[in-house]
Amino acid sequence: MQKKFLSLLVFLVLSQFCFSQKSVILRVKADEQEDTLGVNVVNEITKVAYAAIREGKVQLWDSPKKEVAISFNSLKQIEKSSGLNFIDQQLIYIYDVWNYEKKKLKSVTQGFLFSSKLENGDAVVFGYVEYETLKNTIATSSPLINANGDCYLNLNNYLNKKKYNYQILQFDDKVINNITDSKLLKDDFIGLNDFNVDPNSKDSVESKYIEWTLSASEKLTGTKAQASRDFINALSTYFHENLEVLYNLSGKNAEEILQNGTWEISSVSFAEIWKKSVTGIKSNPLWMSVSIDSVVIDSIYMDNLVNWDFTINDQNWLDYIQQKNFLYLIVKVNSDVIPIEKSIKYQKGLLSHKWNNLINFVELY
């Protein structure tokens, strides 16, 4: 055991002096991806790759050597004969090239090998997909991002920054066959460095996609509840004084709404991007949804909203919304739909806790 450790140590020391470019194979398991990462790259890469193969956007190969092309029909046969579904696999192998020069750590993803195991332990290889052919599809995909994640990071960001848990299986010509040696290799070559750092990047800003709805029930008391009702009253007045705006927004529902002169706004919801930096939290509205007598008006986007001119207690309505001195319920954070009973906890977490650990905060609060 000691001889084996010394052998690896010598390999690491020698490699450190000639580490210009190394081919690396990473083993990435779905059940080892923590909630704090925001995205499970195994599930999302598998989903994107399967759809791209099915639609003929990328070629599936037998191996990284790309000797035999596998059609989607052939892939279905592999699934049928093995009893395994490509989309359900819990393990992928990521092929990378790492470069460490002038104290800058860079990586370039080469491709993905999709493989599973039968109950008897036999491997079933579905095939290999080149990253370059999948890159644009990955960039435009909409991964499931939990409440801990950053809504502006796509899968390419996760791959480039190595924002996933992995074990190194091979480093250049050296096979790394256990977790301890993999960790030693990470500590030696990566250390506290980050992959693919942009020297021109500004201070880090975290972003969340947030949906919330006003809490304006007459049963609610307090100044914040009244502030919610003040907004709805001001919006109602604006619509009454600008019926053409309401008519244009309502579309096919306009006649149903306007034939009743005593209509009332029953709910108001917003979708926003919240950004957190060292200076605080800022929200940017994306769209607003309004229900009138339970008839939902289609989402009203910012290019229309910026033209609205009304105030609440002498304050511009957009400023009023951004300050959020009223009662509201968080109903969605990124891809996660938030149960009503957890809404206040998420609100507290967003305002006071680490954004990459919201889920844990809510569970322990």
Determine what percent of the chain is predicted with pLDDT higher than 90: 65
Q: What is the pTM of this model?
A: 0.86
Amino acid identity of 78? I
d(CA 89, CA 43): 8
pLDDT of residue 254 exceeding 50, the answer is yes
Cα separations (Å) of 320 from 84, 272, 278?
54, 14, 23
Mean pLDDT score of the chain? 88
Instruction: Render pLDDT for 323-336 as a digit per residue (tens, 0 to 9).
Output: 999 999 999 999 99
Number of H helices, E strands in the chain: 13, 16
In this structure, the number of other CB atoms found within 10 A of the CB of residue 256 comes to: 13
Instruction: Render pLDDT for 110-160 as a digit per residue (tens, 0 to 9).
Output: 999 999 888 888 889 999 999 999 999 999 999 999 999 999 988 999 999
CA 13 to chain centre: 38
- What are the domain boundaries of the chain? 21-189, 206-364
Cα separations (Å) of 84 from 27, 69, 74, 118?
19, 20, 14, 8
In this structure, the number of other CB atoms found within 10 A of the CB of residue 179 comes to: 11
